[in-house]
Amino acid sequence: MQITRTKIIFIAIFLICTNLLGYAFYIQKTEQILPCPLCVIQRIFYWLIGLIALLTIIRNPRKLIFRICAVLMVIFSFSGGVVAIRQSWLAQHSSSLECGMSSEEKFLNALPFAKWWPDMFEANGDCADVTWKLISLTIPDWSILCFTGLCLMAIYTLLSNRNQS
Task: Tell me the per-residue pLDDT of 8-56, one tens digit each, with 9 for 90 and over.
Answer: 888 999 999 999 999 888 888 888 787 777 888 898 899 999 999 999 8
Is residue 1 predicted with pLDDT exceeding 50? Answer: no
Per-residue pLDDT at 140: 84
CA angle 40–12–120, rounded 5-degree value: 20
Find out whether 127 and 37 touch, Cβ atoms under 8 Å.
yes
How many CB atoms sit inside 10 A of residue 139's CB?
24
Task: Tell me the per-residue pLDDT of 131-144, one tens digit each, with 9 for 90 and over.
Answer: 766 687 788 888 89
- CATH fit for domain 5-163, picks 3.30.1490.20, 1.20.1550.10, 1.10.3720.10, 3.40.50.12780: 1.20.1550.10
* Cα–Cα nearest to 10, from 55, 47, 67: 55
What's this model's pTM, rounded to 2 decimal places?
0.80
Task: Tell me the per-residue pLDDT of 70-128, one tens digit each, with 9 for 90 and over.
Answer: 899 999 999 999 988 988 887 776 655 555 555 666 666 666 766 666 666 666 656 66
HSE (side-chain half, CA atoms, 13 Å) at 81: 15
| b/e 37-66 (16+ beta carbons within 10 angstroms → b) | bbbbbbbbbbbbbbebbbebbeeeeeeeeb
Strands 133-134 and 137-138: antiparallel
